[in-house]
Chains A and B, each alone.
Chain A
Amino acid sequence: MRRPVLVGVLLSVLVAGAIIIDAWPRVRRSQTPERFGFGTPATTEDIRQANTDVTPDGRGLPHDSGTVAQGESLYGLRCSGCHGATGTEGPFDHLVGREPGDSFNFGRDPNFLAKRTIGNYWPYATTLYDYVHRAMPFDAPGSLSSNEVYSVVAYLLYRNQIVPGNAVMSDRTLPLVRMPAGDRFVVDNRSGGRTVR
């Protein structure tokens, strides 16, 4: 006869407990939604206008071309003021120059800092198009047509003894150009800890 009483007491305690717990104010963190729905969809035209970068595989290069000869006159007009008559004089970045035997003494010799020319230190020819097209000339960035950019790039590659004087640079030929410093670059291996790298 005592067992039902015990069960009854236990049940009452549980119910009372549940009521008390339920009465406590519940503070829940707000749930981060899968998406907020802010912003607007970018149209194909939005992306086409903004997407001007060029990658080593040639993606982004416009269908056009330019020659060394065209580039030479353009260089004289638009580039030589900052980079010198032959690309070696400055006052700003030296663009032209090849170290004998393509030696890569940049890590050993502090005087090599100024020798980071296209011929010595640029691993990808496509980067030239990408950069000149968007950021050059310094006094009028982005003002050169695709034909003009291909021409200046062709001229600079020629001056650095990377392509012959009759070379035509285009969306087809530029990604095929192999740069002297192309195999010099390695991924960062520092990782903290005791070792100084």
Chain B
Amino acid sequence: MTARPTGSSAFADKSAEAPAPSFSRRTLLAGAVGAISATLLNNASALPAQTKGPVPSPPALDDPGKLQGHIPTELGERSPFEHPRRRVNRAAPAGESESPLQELYGTITPADLHFERHHGGVPVIDPARYTLLIHGMVERPLKFTLADLKRFPTVSRVCFIECSGNGYRGFQTTTMKREATPSWIDGLLSTSEWTGVSLATLFREAGVKPDAKWFLAEGSDAAHMTRSIPVEKALDDAIIAYAQNGEAIRPEQGYPARLLLPGWEGNTQVKWIKRIELAKNPFMTREETSKYTDPLANGTARMFSFVMDAKSLITFPAYPDTVSRGWCVITGLAWSGRGKIARVEVTTDGGNAWESAELQPPVLSKCTTRFRHLWKYAGGEAVLMSRAIDETGYVQPTRAQLAAARGEGTFYHMNNIRGWKVERSGKVFFHVEG
């Protein structure tokens, strides 16, 4: 049984390599001296000086119990032995980085590892000068400062955000490759606890007129990201979020405020939101016409395809792992934009037999669910795959089913069953049936 991949080994081609921790004799010595002097000089005058600068890491001793560790600090850091990193796609013209799914546990994505997708870079917005304007078909056009937004009753929700294009690398044969990590295949997926004000509350405040059926959400980035959203979604579960995992939203995720539409394609959840305009009809922006639409084999293109269908991915074992004989805990994530995951099934023989995986509670609606399945690897070749079933009865389709329903050329919303082939040597490679 192999250990989980650490740091740079999990990244392929254009990724940003994590710098390996370097412990020279000098830093080890400095760390030891620092720790000892902190212990010896542990008095009021010495403390502030110690907490300001970077805290030197003490060396890893055979017996850590023989040396006092470092004193409390204002801001915590990861263990010097842990280096999870997003994989930055240098090919994308204006910004994309993927969450390292294979290096994460549970369901929550640390905020600094949340995937990024932006079309005009990450803007710098002064929260003191931030406003959200709501106008159009409303009784009272209003503008809210960030402080105004925070005065309203807060709502929190744990849910996933997935880029509409996530997973096309597991469908399109033109780009598919065996040497593909979970982050390369499906890393435009992350889960956070989001906190903010319910958009329905703001709409009540502004007095949305009954004829208003759509609203435009506009970002303040250089791309002026704009999408039309049905008012129905606002009244259902939309949030203007200003916090992520207990702290202010990260700049890459929309600081100081973003639109959150649980279960819907990432592109609609406009970051750095500055304006909402209510109208009778959709606005037909560039993103919702010429970009985030899904051409079908019958010569039409599907538009306003908001909801992310149910999907799952085994995150361990995965490329570039090697499994050894004996017990192996297969684990991964399943999620659906239409509600809760009802069941995840796992096969270890290429789809002849499927078994129900164990779901880790709590199973939340429109949220990632961690699953696991015990497998005794007897050696030889094996094909591991998972399929998600959501509470609407939707079953994650095979590639052949999806291609039959939509065609070979479509690009977004690719949720077909994907998995891993274990070779005779125990080496694991990305694999899609059909």
Contacts and interface: CB of A to CB of B under 8 A. Distances in A.
Nearest to A105: B409
A166 interface: no
Interface in B305-360: 305-307, 309, 338-339
Contact of A189 (B297, B302, B339): B302
Interface size range on B against A: 35 or more
B327 to A, nearest CB: 35
Nearest to B274: A50
Contact of A127 (B285, B297, B309, B395): B285
A146 B348 CA distance: 61
A113 B409 contact: yes
A188 B303 contact: yes
A126 interface: yes
B302 A38 contact: no
B204 A196 contact: no
Nearest to A92: B93
A56 B309 contact: no
B309 A135 contact: no
B283 A107 contact: no
A9 to B, nearest CB: 49
Given A39-B205, A56-B284, A135-B120, A197 B222 contact: no
Contact of B133 (A38, A50, A105): A50
Contacts of B148: 38-40
Nearest to A139: B222
B216 interface: yes
Interface in A1-55: 32, 34-36, 38-42, 46-47, 50-51, 53, 55
Contacts of B405: 196-197
Interface stretch (B100-108, B180-188, B286-294, B364-372): B286-294
A107 B296 contact: yes
Contacts of A134: 224, 226
B429 to A, nearest CB: 22
B241 to A, nearest CB: 17
A191 B426 CA distance: 40
B408 interface: yes
Contacts of B297: 107-108
Interface stretch (A62-70, A156-164, A179-187): A179-187
A40 to B, nearest CB: 6
A102 to B, nearest CB: 10
A41 to B, nearest CB: 6
A162 B303 CA distance: 23
B143 A40 contact: yes
Interface stretch (B20-28, B73-81, B386-394): B386-394
Contacts of B294: 107
Closest 4 CB pairs of A and B: A106-B295, A192-B392, A107-B407, A42-B141
